[in-house]
Structure 1
Amino acid sequence: MCELLGMSANVPTDICFSFAGLIQRGGNTGPHSDGWGITFYEGKGFRTFKDHNPCYQSKIAEWVQNYPIKSQSVISHIRQANRGEVSLVNTHPFTRELWGRYWTFAHNGQLAEYEDWPTGRHRPVGETDSEFSFCWLLSQLESKFPKPPADMTDVFRFIAQCCDQLQTKGVFNMLLSDGHYVMSYCTNHLYWITRRAPFGKASLIDEEMTVNFREKTTPNDVVTVIATQPLTNDETWHRMKPGEYGLFHHGELIEGNAEQLKEVAYAKPKEKKKRRQI
């Protein structure tokens, strides 16, 4: 299976530390050697970097790891192919336009007997079940909401219902973002952690790297990182249960369908714009 990595932050933040751990799993400490990709949102635009080569050997991944692109919403993926050839067109994340905004999607798992589900005008380019399910999701959204509602949480609640249908077809772990919100949905493996003051140190599991977040943050910074498996060995990650979803905005959990998620949600602090690493 593949692995996912996402981030939601209340200030422009680079994901170099977390990405450094993920890329090692792309063929070195893990078997996910069939390509990788990462999307950074910046305002209404985005930057996507992809490579169908193993992540830990990719010069592009090395460049991304060392270049601190700042973003408040990030989606990343490393692939272990199970449907569709190893190629750039089948490499996640996938991005499409809906309602005048870009949506980015990455999936971990495998689906079956989904080919007859309608996708409307949203057609997959590659052969993966992942891209097909993304097109189906967008088609369902467009049918349910011809125009985006004033309250976007209604949209993501509906997406969660669609994800419930998709997981009847197999394993469906997902990250989705429109640049403002980051949504996670779990079938079997998905963890998340919210970092806020008082900050401390953290060490990666897959790489000899430690960072002291206290030196790189302000007391108002809030950052949530979501991953298929925990990336650090000295922090407490929250494991999602099958059928759970979480919706994050500016680093804060604002919506979820399980008490475990709601109990660890905190009141939003006042935002202060600052660039830094996490």
Structure 2
Amino acid sequence: MCQLLGMNCNTPTDICFSFTGFQARGGLTDHHRDGWGIAFFEGAGCRVFLDPRPSADSPVAELVRQYPIRSLNVIAHIRKATHGRVALENTHPFMRELWGEYWLFAHNGDLKDYAPALSGRFLPVGNTDSERAFCHILDTLARHHPANAPSIETMHALLRTLATDIGAHGEFNFLLSNGRALFAHCASRLCYIVRQAPFADAHLTDQDVSVDFSQLTTPADRVAVVATTALTDNERWTPITAGSLLTFVDGEPRDFGDGTTRAFVKDTIPPAV
């Protein structure tokens, strides 16, 4: 299964600590060796790093791990190929423009017999089911709102319907962002943590690395991190209920009146002892 990592914050933050653990899953602590990528929103622009090599062996990943790029929204992906050859054009996250802003997308799963009709405005460059799904999502958003971007609440509702429809073809865990919100859909396995004051120590599961966030943050900071599986072993991560879409804004999950956030706060993953 591919690995997903996302971050959404209320103030620009670097993802170096989380990426240090995440990078190891691409061939060191896990067997995903079919490429990796990470993308950062910076203002109206995006900084994207892609490499078809395993992240554990990638010089580009080492650069990213040691380069404190500060962003409000980040999406990263480690690939285990199911559709499409191991190649740069098939490496997530994918990026397109809609309504004058960039969109980023990464998918974990396997879609069977999936061939949506596309208008031609958004077309795959590679040959993955993931990129086809991304093009179909943007096509649908543009068809429903051809002139301007709707509210995040409206996008949340439409994306929930789309996720259900596409998910009928197989496993469809994904992260999607336009730089203003991070949409996280769980089909089988996805979890998150919100870090805010009072901040404490965190220790990575995949590397023997710790950080004291109280030394790196201000009391007003709030950072949400989403991952396929928990990245730390001494914090409480919240599992996202299968079949649900969670939307993060300013470092926290938002309640759009459909019960999504209320459904998530009941259970948490306790830290390891």
TM-score range with shorter-chain normalisation? over 0.9
Residue 48 of structure 1 aligns to a residue whose secondary structure is: strand
1:260 to 256, 260, 263: 263
2: CA distance, partners of 1:74 / 1:196: 18
| 2:216 counterpart residue number | 216
Equivalent pair of 2:152/2:181 in contact (CA under 8 Å)? no
Residue 168 of structure 2 aligns to a residue whose secondary structure is: helix
The CA deviation at 1:255 is 3.4
The CA deviation at 1:150 is 4.9
| 1:106 counterpart residue number | 106
The residue type equivalent to 2:104 in the other structure is T
1: CA distance, partners of 2:76 / 2:32: 13
| 1:6 counterpart residue number | 6
The residue type equivalent to 2:263 in the other structure is Q
The CA deviation at 1:80 is 0.5
2: CA distance, partners of 1:4 / 1:116: 24
The residue type equivalent to 1:129 in the other structure is D
The residue type equivalent to 2:67 in the other structure is Y
The residue type equivalent to 1:242 in the other structure is A
Q: 1:222 to 1:116 in 2, by over 3 A?
A: closer
TM-score, with structure 2 as normaliser = 0.94
- Where does the alignment leave 5 or more consecutive residues of structure 2 unmatched? 268-273
The residue type equivalent to 1:154 in the other structure is T
Residue 161 of structure 2 aligns to a residue whose secondary structure is: helix
| 1:158 counterpart residue number | 158
2: CA distance, partners of 1:165 / 1:150: 21
The CA deviation at 1:263 is 6.7
Equivalent pair of 2:241/2:263 in contact (CA under 8 Å)? no
More displaced 10-residue stretch of structure 1: 179-188 or 115-124: 115-124
Residue 10 of structure 1 aligns to a residue whose secondary structure is: strand
2: CA distance, partners of 1:146 / 1:25: 40
Equivalent pair of 2:116/2:136 in contact (CA under 8 Å)? no
The residue type equivalent to 1:95 in the other structure is M
2: CA distance, partners of 1:254 / 1:162: 19
1:80-91 to structure 2, matched below 5 A, reads: 80-91=80-91
Equivalent pair of 2:84/2:127 in contact (CA under 8 Å)? yes
The CA deviation at 1:115 is 1.3
2: CA distance, partners of 1:98 / 1:116: 19
- The one of the two structures with greater contact order (alpha-carbon pairs below 8 A, sep at least 6) is 1
Residue 102 of structure 1 aligns to a residue whose secondary structure is: strand
- Where does the alignment leave 5 or more consecutive residues of structure 1 unmatched? 265-278
The residue type equivalent to 1:261 in the other structure is F
The CA deviation at 1:252 is 1.7
Q: 1:235 to 1:29 in 2, by over 3 A?
A: same
Q: 1:66 to 1:88 in 2, by over 3 A?
A: same
The residue type equivalent to 1:15 in the other structure is I
The CA deviation at 1:118 is 3.0
Aligned-residue CA RMSD (Å): 1.4
The residue type equivalent to 1:260 in the other structure is A
The CA deviation at 1:152 is 2.4
- The alignment covers a number of residue pairs equal to 264
Equivalent pair of 1:35/1:54 in contact (CA under 8 Å)? yes
What stretches of structure 1 move > 2 A for 4+ residues in a row?
A: 116-120, 147-152, 255-264
The CA deviation at 1:262 is 6.3
1:45-84 to structure 2, matched below 5 A, reads: 45-84=45-84
1: CA distance, partners of 2:145 / 2:161: 14
Q: 1:87 to 1:216 in 2, by over 3 A?
A: same
1:1-278 to structure 2, matched below 5 A, reads: 1-255=1-255, 257-258=259-260, 259-261=262-264
